[in-house]
Amino acid sequence: MRLTFVFSLVTLFIATSCSPKLSTGNSAADQFDTDQRSLITSAAADEPMRVFKITNREDSILLRTASERVQINPNDRTLQLFIDRLLTTVQDSMSLGVGIAAPQVGILKNIIWVQRFDKADLPWEVFINPVIVQYSDLTRKGMEGCLSIPDRREECQRSYAILIEYDRPDGSHHTEMVEDFTAVIFQHEIDHLNGILYLDHLASDLAED
């Protein structure tokens, strides 16, 4: 079945849109506030962070808050430490998810990790300031769970394919089309950056509000 949307010619630049675009807004010194910096630097890169849960009132409030754009500086050691600890968290035996977003560990920054089921060897990749710029009309249904929503899984409907833009830690900017289950992971994690949980997509939950 054909996708019902057509990408513009800009998608032809996917392979060539990797020139560095370092942000000049904030310096590395003020990338994180005092509480965030303390949380990130409280342990080494191989130590997982606590996953925030909606069953905790304060956690739930933070999970419902939109995250901030990241000012990329390859020399920001705190940023790199956080990226590493976020991956350690999702790969920890207590979590074992297929994706994670920064708000899930209490850091309101636009950073996600996604396991790429659309690539050989299923690699983990980090995405900074990811944005979905186009959705397919074609959708798929599938079961979703969330590290921040304990003991619950529901069938959720998502777009089959999406066009995303994002940055890498080196400051390079990219555009990419993603399909099928991996596209679902991206939609789930990017929702977190906007204070949205997968439960919000369920008709039954919306009807109860």
Tokens for 14, please give them: 């996917």
For residues 146, 151, 49 and 27, what is the CA-based torsion angle, rounded to 10 degrees?
30
Burial of 137 (0-12, 13-18, 19+ CB in 10 A): exposed
3-state secondary structure 106-169: CCCECEEEEECCCCCCCCEEEEEEEEEEEECCCEEEEEEEECCEEEEEEEEEEECEEEEEEECC
Catalytic residue among 68, 165, 189, 208: 189
Determine the residue type at 159.
Answer: S
* Residue 176 appears among annotated catalytic residues: no
> What whole-number distance in Å separates Cα of residue 61 and Cα of residue 29?
27
> Could you give the 3-state DSSP secondary structure of residue 203?
helix
* Alpha carbon distance 148, 100 (integer Å): 10
| Residue entry with tokens 């035996």 | 93
Q: Which two tokens stand for residue 75?
A: 């020399």
The residues annotated with a catalytic role in the active site are: 189
